[in-house]
Amino acid sequence: MTDEARSQGIIVGIDLGTTYSLVATLQNGSPVVLPNAVGEVLTPSAVSVDDDGQVWVGAAALARESTHAAHTATSFKRDMGTQRIYQLGQRGFSPQQLSALVLKSLKADAETALGVPVEEAVITVPAYFDESQRRATRDAGELSGLKVERIINEPTAAAMAYGLHALDREFTAVVLDLGGGTFDVTVMDVIEGVIEIRSSAGDTRLGGEDFVDILMSLAKQKSALRDDELPPNSIGRLRAACELAKRRLTSQDDAKIVVPGLERRGAKTLDLEIPVSRVETEGLWLPLVERLRVPIFKALRDAGQRPEQVNEVLLVGGATRMPCVATLAAGIFGRLPSRSLPPDEAVAMGAAVQAALKSRDAAVGDMVVTDIAPFTMGISVVSGMNDRMVEGIYLPVLERGTTIPASRVKTVHTVNPNQKLVEVEVYQGEHSLCRDNRLLGKFKVDRLPPKSAGEVAIDVRFTYDINGLLEVEATVLDTKEKKSILLENAPGRMSAGQIAEARRGFERLKFHPRDALPNATALERAETCYVGLTGAQREELGQAMAAFRAALDSQESKLIEQMRGEILNLLERLRQSSA
């Protein structure tokens, strides 16, 4: 690394995920995922606030979900671009603010690992994130103190990670990206160093969390539990047990959902131990698996490809480890899918490749990547014949599948004599009526010249950039007067003033010291485990926790490290014994 690079900082790649987030950079020509404060590469996308108002992010926050559910937020990526507020104790956070806290933590991890300032990042989003969700992601980056150099689609990033060392080949591939909260499908061609994205489709409300939801419903049904008798902490503990069972079923035919001492409102605690089998759960998961088919075949149709024309099927995202996903892919494409890169890490690796391209790193050579608009975007118009006019007709301006960056224009006309203004309503979607599509924003074009109906022409231009962000401009052809919209007022979009105020608010937050996170995380994980134990196991863990706290009080670093290792080994042994 040059002295100039050290002084200016570097660009990193970030996979901002629903369940886990990662940060990566290119080192010696290969993408490397960087460890966090507790030495792990997967940082849970979780935020928690304790009774003292101190903010916890990552593994420690996730561990607190089982014991302090009302003070902990997870899966907030699904609400990006909305106005939802997560109330954590006495403090409220928007999805952008929670995501910014995760990004801020990743930024600190990268700076510690690399020893240089990190001021810029490439951040990934699901290919099927719409314009407001992408802008919300950019807002989160700005809140965290990062300059967002590029927003890139997750399957496109994964394709870059796979394609980095296959640029001398020619093949067609499909990327199936099933993460914790979203599913994306991308069809791409790799031809002599060029990765060309042919089509994308997806479902922003389908991911591994939905499979866990079904396991939770099964556990409640088998144990005759009602939702209203479970306090938040019990729901958190049950969800963690179901997530663990789901993971075990990826490699085992049978597993158990185990929650000892589950608290219930107005009733005795319940020792939950429910056996589940892969055959049983895959039967219950079948509707979700069938939902995966729809985006897959939509992407193939848009790309003009038949399944048998695909040379490689690449699985990305932790949820693709479920055998039912690989079985579905093999059945559709007639070939075994590939996991040559770690499914959890491929997107972050690809983001690092994109960051290297932005930095003009020689290791990526002449690699070229083209991307597309995943949605059609257009405006509302009035149409009809014989004096019978119908409002709310959708006029596509920029079609899905258009290679970006792109600019497209459509000309519309006034419908009334001496019409003084028109309202340009911008929609996204594939339906013929605007009411069935999503309104992105609207603005007025006034001071139109007085003319007969249909004689005033207005050019409406859509400009869609490489980050998937849209600008709309309307030009009155007679007067050359222009009006435009940056869609600043989309739901959940933060103004510059709001971002500045939120950043000042971040400065007032109390964060748990980074260098103490390994110890705090170990204790939180132990506390979560302790709640569910009884008898000799609980006594053993309690003694280990007391010894660890005593070591912390001693402030002897070697003793602390030794006791932390012992308590983590004990937790792993207890976890294995409950399998």
Distance CA 339, CA 322 (A): 12
Give me the residue label for tokens 């104790």. 89
**Sheet containing 406-413: which strands, arranged edge to edge?**
406-413, 457-464, 470-476, 482-485
Other beta carbons within 10 angstroms of residue 77's beta carbon come to: 29
pLDDT value at residue 9: 60
pLDDT at 4 over 50: no
Note whether 71 and 24 are within 8 A (CB): no
Distance CA 564, CA 518 (A): 8
Note whether 197 and 370 are within 8 A (CB): yes
Give me the residue label for tokens 């709310």. 392
Note whether 201 and 299 are within 8 A (CB): yes
pLDDT at 401 over 80: yes
Q: Which CATH number fits domain 3-207+289-372: 3.90.220.20, 3.10.580.10, 1.20.1080.10, 3.30.420.40?
A: 3.30.420.40
pLDDT value at residue 7: 43
What sign does the dihedral 35-41-46-50 (CA atoms) show? negative
pLDDT value at residue 497: 74
Percent of the chain with pLDDT over 70: 95
Domains 3-207+289-372 and 377-477 equal at CATH topology level: no
pLDDT value at residue 1: 44
pLDDT at 356 over 80: yes
Query: What torsion do the CA atoms of 522, 523, 524, 527 make, to the nearest 10 degrees?
Result: 120
Query: Residues 292-315: what's their mean pLDDT?
Result: 95
SS (H, E, C) 334-349: CCCCECCCCCCCHHHH
SS (H, E, C) 493-526: CCCHHHHHHHHHHHHHCEECCHHHHHHHHHHHHH
Global pTM value: 0.84
Q: How confident is the model at residue 486 (pLDDT cuts 50, 70, 90)?
A: low
Angle at 213 between CA 341 and CA 80, to 5 degrees: 70
pLDDT value at residue 388: 77
Residue 451 burial (CB < 10 Å; 0-12/13-18/19+)? middle
**Residues carrying an active site annotation:** 15, 77, 154, 177
pLDDT value at residue 361: 80
Q: Closest Cα to residue 328, out of 373, 266, 280, 286?
A: 286
Residue type for position 508:
R
Q: How far is CA 136 from the centre of its chain?
A: 12
Distance CA 186, CA 172 (A): 11
pLDDT value at residue 5: 42
Q: Which of 2-11, 255-264, 329-338 has the highest mean pLDDT?
A: 329-338
pLDDT at 104 over 80: yes
pLDDT value at residue 487: 59
pLDDT at 291 over 90: yes
Distance CA 237, CA 264 (A): 12
Q: Closest Cα to residue 180, out of 86, 32, 72, 76?
A: 76
Instruction: Report the chain's mean pLDDT, rounded to a whole number.
Output: 89
Architecture of domain 377-477: Sandwich (2.60)
Domain range summary for the chain, segments of one domain joined by +? 3-207+289-372, 377-477, 514-577
Query: Residues 13-20: what's their mean pLDDT?
Result: 96
pLDDT tens for each residue of 406-433: 999 999 999 999 999 999 999 999 999 9
pLDDT value at residue 492: 54
Query: Residues 81-101: what's their mean pLDDT?
Result: 92
pLDDT value at residue 308: 95
